[in-house]
Structure 1
Amino acid sequence: MIKLKASDAGLSVAEFTRRSVLLKPLPKRLSKITLATYKELVRIGNNINQLTRATNTAIKMGLRPPADPEQLEQLRNLLQQIGRELSQIETEITDDDDVDSDEDLEEWE
């Protein structure tokens, strides 16, 4: 049970035990929705980076760019703003996110 709780907190068993004994707070956990949002933002950011590289290469070669550089910059800034706002949100795992069901336990095994 301790190993499971330590893993869920993203800590080693020793660090989890140390914090528990000393009554130090555990790190805040992000909800599954927030984690999924971060992952999707990373994917979108990677696509924008690839499109930006292709656009810059086309411009250097004197070819028509596949995207408007100004719009790419706006997209990049928007993604950064969303990322900053998400990082400011402190969410804890709710009871629904805890490992309670048999299905969730199978994932842990």
Structure 2
Amino acid sequence: MIKLKAQDAGLSIAEFTRRSVLLKPLPRRLSKITLATYRELVRIGNNINQLTRATNTAIKMGVQPPVYPYQLQELRNLLQQIGRELSSIETEVIDDDDDDIDDEDSEEWE
């Protein structure tokens, strides 16, 4: 039974036992939609980093930047807000549906 629970949690038996004995939380499940959303946010973040780098280089060279720093700051703030909202939504879904999670193929571990 312990082996199955460890596999379901995506942990080794030793790690699962340590977490259980020490009352540490197990990784929480994330839906495929949430994972896809997080991945897309990472891609957007990477694009913003590239824009930031290009903007800083353009400013140092004294040429017109591709975007203005205040626009990058607005994008950053929006992404942080979306991330916070996703975290709170995912927590609510997990709290509401925690006992109903049976389909291992439809969900992954964080």
User: TM-score if structure 2 supplies the norm length?
Assistant: 0.68
Residue 16 in structure 1 maps to residue 16 in structure 2: yes
Q: Which residue of 1 aligns with 2:84?
A: 84
Displacement of 1:56 in angstroms is 1.1
The partner residue of 1:98 within 76, 79, 104 is 104
Q: Which residue of 2 aligns with 1:106?
A: none
Size of the alignment, in residue pairs? 98
Following TM superposition, the consecutive aligned residue runs of length 4 or more in structure 1 with deviations greater than 4 angstroms are 1-5, 21-25
Cα separation, 1, equivalents of 2:105 and 2:3:
13
From the two aligned structures, give the one with the greater helix fraction. 2
Over residues 36-69 of structure 1, what are the superposed CA-to-partner deviations in whole Å (9 max), with x where a residue is unaligned? 1111101100100110110111011100111122
Cα separation, 2, equivalents of 1:43 and 1:25:
29
Cα separation, 1, equivalents of 2:44 and 2:78:
11
Q: Which residue of 2 aligns with 1:103?
A: none
Cα separation, 2, equivalents of 1:5 and 1:71:
47
Gaps of 5+ in 1: 101-109
Residue 28 in structure 1 maps to residue 28 in structure 2: yes
Cα separation, 2, equivalents of 1:84 and 1:47:
20
Q: Specify the code of the residue in structure 2 equivalent to 1:14.
A: A
Displacement of 1:98 in angstroms is 1.8
Identity %: 78
Cα separation, 2, equivalents of 1:77 and 1:58:
23
RMSD of aligned Cα (Å): 2.9
Give the match's secondary structure for 1:30. strand
Gaps of 5+ in 2: none
Cα separation, 2, equivalents of 1:75 and 1:86:
16
**Bigger relative contact order, structure 1 or 2 (CA pairs below 8 A, ≥6 apart):** 2
Q: Which residue of 2 aligns with 1:52?
A: 52
